[in-house]
Amino acid sequence: MFDLSLNEDISMIQDVVRRFATDMLSENYRDFEADKAIPESVLSAYAEMGLASLEVPESLGGAALGSTAKAVILEELGFGDPGAALALDGIGPALYAVADVGGDSALEEYIVSLLDKPDARALLIWDDGPQPSASSLRYLDKGSEPGYQGLIPWVPANHADLVVVLDHNGASVITQGFSINPVKGSGLRAAGAGELVFGDENNPVPIAKRWDNKAGAAKALARWQLYTAALMIGVFRVAAETSREYAMERVAFGKPIAHHQAIAFLIADMRTVVDGARLLVQDAASRADADQPFESAAAAAFVEVVEASMFITPNALQIFGGQGFMQDLPLEKYMREARTLGLMAGGVDLAREIAGRDICANEGLVELSALAAQDA
C-alpha cells in the first residue's frame, strides 16, 4: 500500500506557507515586479516563520526537515510568486552546493551566518565547461591564484553576498570581486534582474574556496533541479486553477465554457498533469531524504515538470482568449515565469542527458538502442 500523504509537521508548515503566499505574495505580485524587490515588511514576515534553515542540519541550528518539506513549501511559494520566492529564500539552492560538496564545515563557514539576514542573497551558477552557451564564464588557472572571468547575462538578483559556481567536478565559492549590473529581465522579476560580471582576463575574480567532489556535485545539481521543479509546479498549478475558475464563470452558448466538452477535457488533463508532476518531484525528494540514489529521479522529474509547464501555461492562456496576453491578467506572467525557471539548474537538456544516461546504463537498453540505430 502506498501512503502519499504528508506527515503532520510538513502539513502544518504547508498550511502556514499557503496562507502567507495567498495574503502576501499573490495580492502584490505586480508591485514586486515593478520594484524588482520585496518590501522589508514581507521579508521580515517570511523570516519570522523560520524557514531559512529548514534543510540545515540540527547540529548547525537548523530544522533538518529535508527535501520533501522544501518541495512542498516551494510549490506554495511558487503559487504566490516564484520571483518573490527566490528573494525570500535568499540562500536558495546555493546551500546545496556548499553542503553536498563542501560538507558541514563549509556550510558553517559560508552559509550559516547569512541565514539570520532577511535580505541576504547567495547565487548558484552552473558551469558546464567549454560548451556553447550564452555565458562567457571561464575558469582561469594562471599563477598561484586561479579564478573566474567573464559574465553571466542574467541572474535573478540585483545584489549578492556570495556566488557559488557548481560544475561536474565540484564547487567554488566567490566572496568578492564580482558585480551585478541591472537589466530589465523577463521572468522572475520580483527577485531582481542583473548581469553578473567576473573581473577580466588580466584580473580574474579570486576563488575563496574550492572543493572537488563529483558525487557531491551530482547531488547538489539534483537538489537544485528539485528546487526549481517545485517552484514551477506552483506556477502552473495557479495557472491551471485560474483558468478553471474563469471557465466556470465565462458563459458561451448558454452555459459556462467549462461545460463544453473540449474545455472540460482540457481542464481535466491540466489537473492530471499538475498532480503527476508533483508526485515525481516528491518521489525524488523522498529518495533524497532516505539517503537513496536520487539524481536520475530528480533529473527525470525536472524534465517532466518543464514539459508540463509547456502544456499547461499556454493552454491556460488560451482558455482566456486574447485577453490572456494582457498584463491586466496574470496569465502572461505565468508563461514568463515557467519558461525562465526551465532555463535554470543547467536547463532541461542537461537534465535529459542525466536521466537518459542512467536509463541506458542498463545493458539491455544499450543493446536495444544499438539495434535501433542499425535498423535506422
**What is the third-level CATH fold of 215-371?**
Butyryl-CoA Dehydrogenase, subunit A; domain 3 (1.20.140)
Average pLDDT, integer, range 88-110: 96
The model's pLDDT over 264-276, given as tens digits with 9 standing for 90+, comes to 999 999 999 999 9
329 burial (CB, 10 Å; 0-12 / 13-18 / 19+) is middle
CB environment 234-267: b (16+ within 10 A), e (fewer): bbbbbbbbbbbebbeeeeeeeeebbeeeebeebb
Average pLDDT, integer, range 151-172: 95
Least confident range of 4-18, 157-171, 214-228, 278-292: 4-18
**pLDDT of 141:** 74
1 burial (CB, 10 Å; 0-12 / 13-18 / 19+) is exposed
The model's pLDDT over 44-70, given as tens digits with 9 standing for 90+, comes to 999 999 898 999 999 999 999 999 999
Asked whether the CA dihedral 150, 232, 22, 336 is positive or negative, the reply is: positive
Query: Which of helix, strand or coil describes residue 160?
Result: coil
**pLDDT of 372:** 44
What is the DSSP secondary structure assignment for residue 250, as one 8-state letter?
Answer: -
| Cα–Cα dist 220/257, whole Å | 45
Short-list 181, 213, 220, CA closest to 345: 220
H helix runs in the chain, sequence order: 8-20, 29-35, 40-48, 66-80, 82-88, 94-97, 104-110, 214-249, 261-289, 295-320, 331-341, 347-360, 363-375
- The average confidence (pLDDT) of the chain is 90
Least confident range of 153-157, 185-189, 241-245: 185-189
**pLDDT of 130:** 61
The model's pLDDT over 340-374, given as tens digits with 9 standing for 90+, comes to 999 999 999 999 999 988 777 654 554 444 444 44
Dihedral (C-alpha) 39, 229, 316, 22: value to the nearest 10 degrees? -30
The answer to whether 122 and 162 are in contact (CB under 8 A) is: yes
What is each CA distance from 117 to 49, 173, 175, 251, 332, in whole angstroms? 13, 19, 16, 50, 33
Confidence of residue 133 (pLDDT cuts 50, 70, 90): low
**pLDDT of 3:** 63
**pLDDT of 368:** 43
**pLDDT of 351:** 95
What is each CA distance from 92 to 10, 52, 74, 156, 160, in whole angstroms? 19, 9, 10, 11, 12
Percent of the chain with pLDDT over 90: 76
